[in-house]
Amino acid sequence: MGNSKYSIGIDLGTESARTVLVDVLTGEEVATSVYNYQNGVIDRALPDGKTQLEPDWALQNPADYIEALKTTIPALLGESDVNPRDVIGLGTDFTACTMMPIDKNGTPLCMLDRCKSNPHAWVKLWKHHAAQPEADRINQVARERGEAFLARYGGKISSEWFFAKTLQMLNEAPEIYEACDKLIEAADWIVLQLTGEERRNLCTAGYKAMWDKRAGYPSREYFRALHPRLENVVDEKLSRDIYPMGTKVGGITKRMAQLTGLSEGTAVCVGNVDAHVAVPATTVTEPGKMVMIMGTSICHMLLGREQKIVEGMCGVVEDGILPGYFGFEAGQSGGGDIYAWFIRNAVPGEYSAEAGRRDIDLHTLLAEKASRLKPGESGLLALDWWNGNRSVLVDADLSGCLLGCTLNTKAEEIYRALIEATAYGTRKIIKAFEEADVAVDELYACGGLPEKNPLVMQIFADVTGREIKLAASAQTSALGSAMFGAVAAGSENGGYDDIVSAAQNMARLKEKTYHPIAENQRVYEKLFAEYEKLHDYFGRGENDVMKRLKRIRAAVAGGIKK
């Protein structure tokens, strides 16, 4: 143990942060600590309990991020008895685009008394979906001007991204926009807190803020066309200095050292995104191997040697996942979130009673009952749009649909139909890559779902018709961040010079894999054809009922959108 070196990875997620302490040589996860955010997702009212939020809002409290550092890092060090001096590096990853306004001290405006009752002063979480009108405008102006960047994002900028959220702030709370010194990704803010240095990472710049290694940000003219006040948004509120993944930003500050128990000066890596750091942590460092990060939502990550235009992909960014490759990202904005919605909102009391008697949770009970059903047996079909559609339709205003209900429909049948729907969504994404000539030869999975729900994995294998290999780590993103922490430290300090070497030594797969079952595949072929038909009918403009229902809802709520 005397010679071992360690790296810390911190994965700041939607409801919680997970921190791991990893042996740099072997990848062994020596200790893990989880912190559940006190404020969780703020989607009904601000923490003051008074300020109500409109539909589709989703905020976070940045105090929860600091609390996560303060809680988990000392827990790791205490539990493992590792000497802080043997911790050579620290990496972080975040959800994205998760962004906030800060003042010139780096303090989020929501922490200032004068701003804190304005919802726009808070962190807009990735799944904040209230900026759709702004996204529509961003897309419309880009199309009118023939902006080249659009194609890199599957032809559509998402309402989840940086400038949609920025423009919503400018439209609805210009005083907050003016009051802030900077607008910053939480991924970069946490690094700023750790090191005192503002260094913006390539990953969120590329995937969420339309930045490109060759072309930079969209032009001032484009931003001016969007909104006069945005002309100089990049220089006024962001930065043009963008740092590639694995860059060492600096060392842990004295204050942060005191807060966490780490040594002052411990190397800190530039910020990164949860889905992206998971790729090398799932052993994937070359093209053709799609990594699915399966948690509340599902991200699909793929490396390619060339830039290709894939329908509805979230983005293709040069060096965006690993240096030297084009990194493709696609995704589904609902996954485990949808199953969790179902468990919370639609499982009858007698099931809760049974789960209680047997001392298992409802997911386990439902999965057990649902796994006894054959594909097609329930007669149900769902569209997995409870949280909108990211790929391939890029439309947050779509909504979920369940079809085929009868008076005999049972809860476990609906649960299975929802899982199947998310698997169809993934298959639709794979199909889009293949149609754009980007190979998807193998599937890899990591995240919470593969750990917890074998039924989900078998259905994904059956629906996609592909074997699925699994990351060995239960905390793949945190492990990936620790790997990047080791890269930031560098080989001269016992770390690595590049992420590929780190992956070779620190990342592993499980022995268990999921193989498609031929009999199930045959039925799912038919059901997927039905899914596609509904997908196109509701998603491609033939019947925009979902959008109209959302407009009626907004009008009824009295919050008529600009």
Site of interaction with its own copies (CB under 8 A)? 43, 55, 334, 337-338, 341, 344-349, 351-353, 374-381, 385-387, 399-411, 414, 523, 526-527, 530, 533-534, 537-538, 543, 545-546, 548-550, 552-553, 555-557
In the sheet that holds 87-94, the strands lie side by side as: 29-36, 16-23, 6-12, 87-94, 267-269, 248-251
Which candidate, 95, 269, 247, places its Cα nearest to that of 195? 269
* 9, 31 Cβ separation under 8 angstroms: no
Residue type at 134 in one-letter notation: E
Helices 411-435 & 454-464 angle (0-180, nearest 10): 40
C-alpha separations of 132 from 176, 394, 395, 417, 538 in Å: 20, 11, 8, 28, 17
Alpha carbons 443 and 516: distance in angstroms, whole number? 12
Q: CB atoms < 10 A from the CB of 44, how many?
A: 10
Sign for the CA dihedral angle at 472, 476, 480, 483 comes to: negative
Residue type at 246 in one-letter notation: G
Helix (H, G, I), strand (E, B) or coil at 146: coil
* 167, 160 Cβ separation under 8 angstroms: no
Residues 6+ apart with CB under 8 A from 493: 5, 88, 89, 267
Closest contact distance (angstroms) between CB of 382 and its own copies is 9
Which candidate, 267, 150, 275, places its Cα nearest to that of 204? 275
* 390, 330 Cβ separation under 8 angstroms: yes
Closest contact distance (angstroms) between CB of 172 and its own copies is 20
In the bound state with its own copies, the residue whose beta carbon lies nearer, of 28 and 377, is 377
Which candidate, 123, 90, 107, 116, places its Cα nearest to that of 484? 90
Q: CB atoms < 10 A from the CB of 39, how many?
A: 17
Closest contact distance (angstroms) between CB of 298 and its own copies is 14
In the bound state with its own copies, the residue whose beta carbon lies nearer, of 399 and 464, is 399
Closest contact distance (angstroms) between CB of 295 and its own copies is 14
Closest contact distance (angstroms) between CB of 44 and its own copies is 9
In the bound state with its own copies, the residue whose beta carbon lies nearer, of 215 and 545, is 545
Alpha carbons 237 and 94: distance in angstroms, whole number? 20
Closest contact distance (angstroms) between CB of 420 and its own copies is 12
Alpha carbons 18 and 521: distance in angstroms, whole number? 36
Closest contact distance (angstroms) between CB of 257 and its own copies is 39
In the bound state with its own copies, the residue whose beta carbon lies nearer, of 386 and 484, is 386
- Taking only Cα atoms into account, the Rg of the chain, rounded to an integer number of angstroms, comes to 23
CA 429, 319, 291 angle in degrees (round to 5)?
Answer: 35
In the bound state with its own copies, the residue whose beta carbon lies nearer, of 3 and 406, is 406
Which candidate, 510, 508, 506, places its Cα nearest to that of 495? 506
Q: Which residue bears the tokens 């969780």?
A: 40
Closest contact distance (angstroms) between CB of 369 and its own copies is 13
Closest contact distance (angstroms) between CB of 368 and its own copies is 17
In the bound state with its own copies, the residue whose beta carbon lies nearer, of 110 and 418, is 418
In the bound state with its own copies, the residue whose beta carbon lies nearer, of 326 and 524, is 524
Closest contact distance (angstroms) between CB of 406 and its own copies is 6
In the bound state with its own copies, the residue whose beta carbon lies nearer, of 127 and 469, is 127
Q: Are strands 242-243 and 298-304 parallel, antiparallel or unpaired?
A: unpaired
In the bound state with its own copies, the residue whose beta carbon lies nearer, of 28 and 536, is 536
In the bound state with its own copies, the residue whose beta carbon lies nearer, of 36 and 543, is 543
Closest contact distance (angstroms) between CB of 497 and its own copies is 43
In the bound state with its own copies, the residue whose beta carbon lies nearer, of 188 and 420, is 420
Alpha carbons 166 and 223: distance in angstroms, whole number? 11
In the bound state with its own copies, the residue whose beta carbon lies nearer, of 512 and 553, is 553
Closest contact distance (angstroms) between CB of 555 and its own copies is 7
